[in-house]
Each structure stands twice: as C-alpha cells, then as structure tokens.
A and B are shown apart, each in its own frame.
Chain A
Amino acid sequence: MASERMTGAEIVIKALVDLGVEVVFGYPGGAVLPIYDALFKQNRLRHILVRQEGGAVHAAEGYARSTGKIGVVLVTSGPGATNAVTGLTDALMDSVPVVCLTGQVPTHLIGNDAFQECDTTGITRPCTKHNYLVKDVQDLGKTLHEAFYVAGSGRPGPVVVDLPKDVQFAEGDYEAPQSAAHKTYKPRVKGDPSAIEQAVSLLASAKRPIVYAGGGVVNSGDKGSQLLTQFVRMTGYPCTLTLMGLGAYPASDNQFLGMLGMHGTYEANMAMHDSDVILCVGARFDDRVTGRLDAFAPDAKKIHIDIDPSSINKNVRVDIPIIGDVAHVLEDMVKIWKSKQHRADGKALDAWWDRITEWRAVNCLKFKQAGDIIKPQHAIRRLYEATKDRETYITTEVGQHQMWAAQHFPFDRPNHWMTSGGLGTMGYGLPAAVGVQLAHPDALVVDIAGEASTMMNIQELSTAMQYRAKIKVFILNNEYMGMVRQWQELLHGGRYSETYSEALPDFVKLAEAFGAVGLRAEKADQLDDVIAEMIACDNAVVADICVDPAENVFPMIPSGAAHNDMLLGPEDEKAKPVSEDGMVLV
C-alpha cells in the first residue's frame, strides 16, 4: 500500500479508523485543537465528550471490558493528562486495554514550563504498560499502531501516546503497517507442553482439588471462559472466581463455590485452605485473595497459568508455573485430559464435595430482611430478580455495595461485570456505565453504587444525558462511606472519623437537575416498584435506595487472618477481635 501525505492530526484520525476504532472518549483543549479540528471534518469516529478527563478513561475502560475491544481516550496536555492518571492506573491494575492520546505543548517548548505543560510521559510511566512521546510526524502512524498492539496483546493495559502540537500540524507520510509484530515485545501465548502435561497429571491425582480463576480468563476472550467451563465440568472439580473473574464460570452452576477472598464465601475460602491441588487460572494471588500468606492453602500444590511471567511467584510460590494465554493453555489441558483418559479420583472427590456441601450449609451470605428497613443485600437480590431475563451489564463503584453486588448478583457470562478491583477507584462505576451503554445501546446498564462514590464522578451524568445513554445509577444509600465505617467499627473502636456522608444532595432532585429521572425507595415495600420503574424508564435514572446504615459486609477475612479464620456475621465480630498485626494492614 502506498503511503499518503497528510498532517499529524489527520494521521491520528486515519490510524484510529484503520485500527477499527469507532468511539473516542475525550475532552478538548489547546494542545489537541488540531486533532479536534480533524475530528470535526470526518464522520467515521464518534467522539464522546465527557465532563472530566478521569471520566473519559473510566468510560473507555467500561467500553473495553464490555466489548473486548480497546478503549480510546483523547485529552489535552497538562491537567488533561494528569486528570487521566487515576483511570490509567486503574486500567493498569485491572489489565484493561486502553490507548490514551494526550496533547502536549510544541516540541520546542517541552521542558520550559509552558502553559498547560506537564511531563506526561514521566508522570504516566509507572501507571501505564508503555508510553510514547512522538517528536517526529514521520513516526506517528507507526507509533499509534504499535500502541494499540501493546495495549491489546499479552497482558492488556493502558498505553499513552503524547502528541506535541507541532507534530499534529506537521505534514508527514502515513502508511498502515503490514504486521503488528514488535522488535522487543513478544508476549508468549502458548504454554510449555511439558509443564501443561505435568499440571494435568497433578490435577488428575488430586484428592481435594480446586480451580481458582480470575480476570485473565475474561481477558482471554469468550474462548477462555468456554474452555474453563469445559475443563471444570469434565473434571467435576469445584471452581471459585476472583472479583475480577466473576462471569468467567457460570454462577448458576453447582460446581461454582462463589467468589473467594476477603469477602468471598465461606465454602470458597475453606475449600482453598483445605485443598491439596490449586489450579490458578489468570489470577494473581492478590492480597485480598490470599489473606495471611504463611497460612494460605498450606497443603496445596499450586499450578499457575498466567500470560505475565512477573505474576508468577510474586506473592505465593507455585509448583508448576505455566506462562501463556489462558485459552491456549486450557485448550491443551482439555486435550491432554481427554487423550490420556484421565479421570478424577471419584471416591476422594465425593468426600471432598461432601465437605464442601457442609461448608455451603453454613449459608454464609444469609441476611435478615424484616420490617421497613431495606437491607442492601436484599436490594441487590431484588435487582437481580428483576433483571435476570434481560441483557444486563453491571458496573460498580467501590466499597460495601461493590462487595454485596459481587456476592449477591450472579453472573453467568463474562464481560457483563465491570468493577474497579485492583486500584479500588471510587467514582469508577458511573462513567464506566456510560462507556458500557454506548457500546450496548439496547442493553440494561446498571451502576450499583454507594452515595459517596456517586458524588466522585456525578458530572458524567451530564455525558450520559448528552448521548442519551440510559444508564441506571442504583445507589445503596447508607449515608456512610460504608466500607471505611465497617473497618472503623471492627478495628478502631467504632470511632467513625469523617465517614458520615454529611450534607448529601437530594439525589432525586439532582437527577432531575441533569434532566434524568430520580426515584427513591425508603421502605422495603417500595423497592420492587422503584426497580421496575427504573428498568422501564426510557431515560437515565438515579435510584436512591435508602438502606440500613449499620449493615456490614460478611463473611470477612479480617486483615492478617487466614482463610479458615473468617468472621461470618456480627456475632463473630465480638468473638474474634482483630489482632494488632492485622490492624496495620490495609
């Protein structure tokens, strides 16, 4: 293909179109004017004007995670770039493919403390998978294609391309590259066959096996989830998922033990602790999952499949590491299991399931909904009942509501659950919901939120209105920064320092001020009607669900405790005080 001569700004548009981009989330400013001018003159890319750059990155994350495509962000220099930093860090922690184009002052002014200048590549170096400063328009096309390749391949992540204004004006040649291969960056997708064979043999000989899978399965595409499901079903082994992995294995299946970790189910954590073989698939032994490291699954041999070698042996020493893409490795495992005619140890497995059934009988997610006061868990259960038969995407903010959503809203398919897991970014859910809704205009998109998180990016409701994104913000309003309050109750003698949500707005009026619909449920008997009205509403909705302010998230593995040392409910809270050692952990 012959190269074409055009300005840097035009190259940006052309490259994005060539790369299959349809939507760009952005906010204009001085240093990206040439690109916005080029955007104005075309109709291939749809630009979504957010209200703050942080919202643009979260919206792109929501778009990316619900579609499996790369989310694209366009912001200006200086504050545009620094506002994007939280979102970029969020995308890095949760392995979300995002390409963020940032304007920069002209090359001759870089380093001069020019107006709206910041060292974007310096600031974003630790919070991106990679970043670029394009100083020559001749490099621009190639750099953009490379940025997309890096963001989307291997372990996905955010990539920043910093574009000085003079480069956007300069004329250069553009040619879509033939191949995306990179000189030094070559992620490994196929696993080592001998390690895979070893892993399958070990799994076949297990007496108390468990499959622990995470977000890597979702990132591996639909095939990843299908193969995981196939493997778990053919072995008959129990399966647990991390917060990031929810939906990768159908929650309605009997072999699913629920989420594991700090607020995971009793059965999932007990099974992890007592297992003799753990197959970790696309998860990273995060501290929220392992609890006390030296007491984590003490008798288990561990197999770890991950595309990122640095995830292996980072927190927990594993016995069989397999570096590769989850779908590729699982495909091999399924094949080997079949061809070697492996069969699970039936007697041992029955005994193992008997124990799991006993743990399940504890019914660790139980709660009492009685009287007028709405329990937050009940609100989520009712939301699930009302939405389970339609195409529903859930985003969340961060805190108690997020954990209740993870516990009480089951997902049978991947890419329908978008939450900020690694970074724990309050304010993620609302803009993420906008991104999801724009990718899936006919689906129901609900941001399960808390009142404090909602206030962090409420301005993006205006974006939702502008593009008729009919998102539903379902606020479990307990008038507290609930998760922090819960820790203050458990660890700091009930001294609720600065966690009361003072001077809250009237969310119904607030919604109306934006042109959205505001609804409120104050009593349990109003809940179903409000949910039904919210779902039926042909507009963005803020539903203010006034819930029990004293409710805590259980079960809970307190900091510094082991998996088999869980708090199951308020009764345990007094019986098992958290140790001084645990108090210093987050």
Chain B
Amino acid sequence: MENQEIETHTIAVLVDNEPGVLARVVGLFSGRGYNIESLTVSTVSEDKTVSRISIVTSGTPMIIEQIKAQLDRLVPVSAVHDLTEEGAYIEREVALIKVAAKGPERRESLRIADIFRARVADTTVDSFVFVVTGTQEKIDAFTELMRALGGVEVSRSGVVAIARGSEVL
C-alpha cells in the first residue's frame, strides 16, 4: 500500500513577477484541495522580475509530489524546490506581538522577551510591541507565554526559507 502518512514540506517557488501569479498559485491549492499552512511572497531579483513564494504545505507523499508537479506546470513558474526534501535549510518567521499588561505581568513580559531575544519595537505605559524572529515553533511558544500575561495581538509574516550551502537559485 502507499505511504499514507501526512508530511509537512516547505516549498520555494520562483515565479515571473506578473499580475495574477499569486492568484494562480493560491487558486491551484484551493481548487485541488491542498493545504496551505503558510505562504509568503515577495520580489527577490534586482530588476524585480522574479518573485519567490515560500509555501508550507502538508499531505501524503503522493499529494506532495502532485503539488510540486502542478506548481511546475503553471506557465509563469520557473522553478519549484522542495526544501524539505533537498537537504538542510534555514527557516525563519518574523512576528510582531502586542502585549497589553500592567504591573508585574508587564515586567514579566519583558523578561520573557529577553529570553526569546525578542526586541521591543514600541511601548506605552500599559503595552509593548515585541519583534520576535525564529522558527514557527519558537514564535508559537513565545505567543503562548504572552497570552498568560495579558491581552495579546499577533501579526506573523509566515515562513521564509532558504537552503543551506553555497548553491544559489
């Protein structure tokens, strides 16, 4: 029987920076019933003609293979790289986390931020906005701790990822 276990993969997609290309990628996922756990997009080439889309998705190995083949089939897509499969890679996410708290909770939030190497981006007498960078798990953990201390608002960038080593896409 086929391996039916659900795997999570981080995929980097290089695309022509043209109108509608993101809609094509997102439409492909919704139309074929694939999962998107995280998606980020931005131009990456000097002349702004190429964008990089980083997608975290999950599915059985057969589905993951389909996702990559379907992405590669889109006309404006120039390359599809399954970072999870191709070897070691670095993954980061940035989050802005607002914590509304007073008194000892406020002080505790600052102490935890220090442990997580989060920086303070803004402050009022009864709130902080922290910037925290790291893996999804780290940001999840930080957010969880902050929720215990007061009102929390979260804005996350989604995952960006790049392969280790000297090879340049």
Q: Tell me the bound Cα distance from A550 to B165 in angstroms.
A: 70
Interfacial residues of chain A within 166-182, with CB under 8 A of chain B in the complex? 182
Chain A minimum-CB-distance residue to B24: A125
Complex alpha-carbon distance, A309 and B72, angstroms: 9
Contact status of A129 and B75, CB under 8 A, knowing A309-B69, A310-B70, A313-B62 = yes
Closest B residue by C-beta to A131: B20
Across the interface, which residues of B come within 8 angstroms of A183, CB to CB? 16, 78
Answer yes or no: B141 CB below 8 A from chain A CBs. no
Cβ–Cβ contact B75 & A314, under 8 A: no
CB under 8 Å from chain B, chain A span 117-166: 121-122, 125-126, 129-131, 133, 150
CB distance from B81 to the nearest CB of A (A): 14
Contacts of B65 on A, CB cut-off 8 Å? 313
Tell me if A40 is interfacial: C-beta within 8 Å of chain B: no
B107 to chain A, nearest CB (A): 50
Q: Most chain-A CB neighbours within 10 Å: which of B2, B65, B75?
A: B75
For residue A451, give the distance in angstroms from its CB to the closest CB of chain B. Answer: 34
- Can you list, as one digit per residue, whether each of A472-503 has a CB less than 8 Å from chain B (1) or not (0)? 00000000000000000000000000000000
Report how far A126 CA is from B70 CA in the complex, Å: 12
Instruction: Specify the chain B residue showing the minimal Cβ separation from A293.
Output: B2
Contact of B23 with A by CB under 8 A? yes
Let me know if B31 is at the binding interface, CB within 8 A: yes
The answer to whether A125 and B66 touch across the interface, beta carbons within 8 angstroms, is no
> Closest Cβ of chain B: how far from A79's Cβ, in Å?
22
Answer whether residue A254 sits at the interface, using C-beta atoms and an 8 A cutoff: no
Is B151 in contact with chain A by the CB < 8 A criterion?
Answer: no
Q: Mark B60-75, 1 if CB is under 8 A from A, else 0.
A: 0010011001101111
B33, CB-defined interface residue at 8 Å: no
**A312 contacts partner chain B, Cβ-Cβ < 8 Å:** yes
Q: Which residue of A lies closest to B61 (CB)?
A: A313
Nearest B-chain residue to A183, judged by Cβ: B16
Asked whether any CB of chain B lies closer than 8 Å to the CB of A184, the reply is yes
- Which of A183, A184, A313 has the most C-beta atoms of chain B within 10 angstroms of its own C-beta? A184
Q: Does A317 contact B (CB under 8 A)?
A: yes
Q: List chain A residues, Cβ under 8 A from B76.
A: 184-185
Q: Given A184-B16, A184-B78, A308-B73, do A317 and B62 touch, yes or no (CB 8 Å)?
A: yes
Tell me the complex Cα distance, A183–B62, Å. Answer: 29
Q: How far is the CA of A130 from the CA of B20 in the complex (A)?
A: 11
**Which chain A residue shows the least CB distance to B30?**
A126
Q: Which residues of A contact B78 (CB under 8 A)?
A: 183-184
Within 8 Å CB of B75, what residues of A?
A: 129-130, 150, 182, 184-185
The number of residues on chain A lying at the interface, defined by a beta carbon within 8 Å of a beta carbon of chain B, is 20
CB contact list, A185-215 vs B, under 8 A: 185
| A150: min CB distance to chain B, Å | 6
Quick one: closest B residue to A146, CB to CB?
A: B75
- Once the chains are docked, how many angstroms separate the CA of A133 from the CA of B75? 14
Contact with A along B67-91 (1 / 0, CB 8 A): 0011011111110000000000000
With A183-B78, A185-B75 in contact, is A126–B66 under 8 Å at CB? Answer: no
A310–B15 Cα distance when bound, in Å, is: 18
Chain B residues near A122 (CB, 8 Å)?
A: 23
A310 x B16 contact (CB < 8 A): no
B19 and A312 form a contact (CB under 8 A) = no
A19 to B30, CA, bound (A): 35
Specify which chain B residues have a CB less than 8 angstroms from the CB of A129 in the assembled complex.
75
Once the chains are docked, how many angstroms separate the CA of A144 from the CA of B166?
40
Q: In the complex, A283 Cα to B145 Cα: how many Å?
A: 54
Q: How far is the CA of A310 from the CA of B78 in the complex (A)?
A: 15
Most chain A CB inside 10 Å of its own CB: which residue of B16, B62, B69: B69
B66 touches A314 (CB 8 A): yes
The answer to whether A317 and B2 touch across the interface, beta carbons within 8 angstroms, is yes
Residues in chain B near residue A314, CB distance under 8 A: 66
A466 to B66, CA, bound (A): 47
**Chain B residues near A184 (CB, 8 Å)?**
15-16, 75-78
Cα separation A121 to B18 with both chains bound (whole Å): 13
| Least Cβ–Cβ distance between B154 and chain A, in angstroms | 31
Cβ < 8 Å to B, chain A residues 314-336: 314, 317
- Is B31 a contact of A313 with CB atoms below 8 Å? no
Q: Separation in Å of the B23 CB from the closest CB of chain A?
A: 6
Residue among A125, A150, A182, A308 making CB contact with B27, cutoff 8 Å: A125
In the complex, per-residue mask of A284-315: 1 if CB is within 8 Å of any chain B CB, else 0: 00000000000000000000000011101110
> With the chains together, A360 CA to B131 CA distance in Å?
73
Q: Within the complex, what minimum Cβ distance (angstroms) separates A89 from chain B?
A: 12
State in angstroms the CA–CA spacing of A309 and B15 once bound together.
18
B153 to chain A, nearest CB (A): 32
In the complex, the answer to whether B20 meets A121 with C-beta atoms within 8 Å is yes
Instruction: Give, as a whole number of angstroms, the nearest-CB distance from A401 to chain B.
Output: 31
Contact A310 B66 (CB under 8 A): yes
| Residues of chain A within 8 A of B27, CB atoms compared | 125-126
List, in ascending order, chain A residues with CB within 8 A of B2's CB: 317
Q: Are A125 and B23 in contact (CB under 8 A)?
A: yes
| Residue contact A312 to B69, C-beta cutoff 8 Å | yes
A313-B66 contact given A130-B75, A150-B75, A185-B75, CB 8 Å threshold: yes
Q: Kindly list the 10 A-B residue pairs having the minimum CB-CB distance in the complex, ordered from nearest.
A: A310-B69, A184-B78, A130-B75, A309-B69, A185-B75, A310-B70, A126-B31, A310-B73, A126-B27, A125-B27
Q: Which residues of A contact B (CB under 8 A)?
A: 121-122, 125-126, 129-131, 133, 150, 182-185, 308-310, 312-314, 317
What are 9 inter-chain pairs, A to B, with CB distance below 8 A?
Answer: A133-B19, A150-B75, A183-B16, A185-B76, A308-B73, A309-B72, A310-B66, A313-B62, A317-B2
Other A-B pairs, 20, CB within 8 Å; known A130-B74, A313-B66: A122-B23, A125-B23, A125-B27, A130-B75, A131-B20, A133-B19, A150-B75, A182-B75, A184-B77, A184-B78, A185-B76, A309-B69, A309-B72, A310-B69, A310-B70, A310-B73, A312-B69, A313-B65, A317-B2, A317-B62
